[in-house]
C-alpha cells in the first residue's frame, strides 16, 4: 500500500530549488540576488539559502492589482 501523505514544505531552499519554484533559471536568480532585486537570502559558509518566508514575501511584493499600476 502506498503512503499518500503530502510531504511538508521545506523551510530553506538552495538557489536551484528556489528558482525552480518560480520557473526561473538558477542563473537568473543569481543575477537578481547580485543586483539586489531578488529575495532576501542567508549565506551559510559558501552556500546561499532562501527561507520559504523570504520567497513568499518577495513574490507578494511583486503583486499588482492593475496592469499599469505605478510604482511608489
Kindly state whether residue 32 falls inside one of the protein's structural domains. Answer: yes
Query: CA-to-CA distance for 41 and 60, rounded, in angstroms?
Result: 16
Share of the chain above pLDDT 70, in %: 86
Query: CA-to-CA distance for 21 and 3, rounded, in angstroms?
Result: 24
pLDDT for the residue numbered 1 = 58
Q: What is the pTM of this model?
A: 0.76
pLDDT for the residue numbered 19 = 97
* Residue 40, domain extent: 12-61
Sign of CA dihedral 25, 27, 33, 37: negative
Tens of pLDDT, residue by residue over 29-51, are: 999 999 999 999 999 999 999 99
Q: How many domains does the chain have?
A: 1
- Given a cut of 80, whether residue 68 has pLDDT beyond it is no
Kindly state whether residue 33 falls inside one of the protein's structural domains. Answer: yes
Amino acid at each position: 500500500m502506498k503512503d499518500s501523505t503530502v510531504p511538508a514544505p521545506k523551510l530553506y531552499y538552495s538557489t536551484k530549488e528556489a528558482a525552480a519554484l518560480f520557473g526561473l533559471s538558477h542563473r537568473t536568480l543569481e543575477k537578481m540576488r547580485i543586483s539586489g532585486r531578488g529575495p532576501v537570502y542567508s549565506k551559510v559558509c559558501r552556500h546561499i539559502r532562501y527561507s520559504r518566508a523570504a520567497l513568499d514575501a518577495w513574490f507578494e511584493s511583486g503583486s499588482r492589482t492593475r496592469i499599469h499600476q505605478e510604482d511608489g
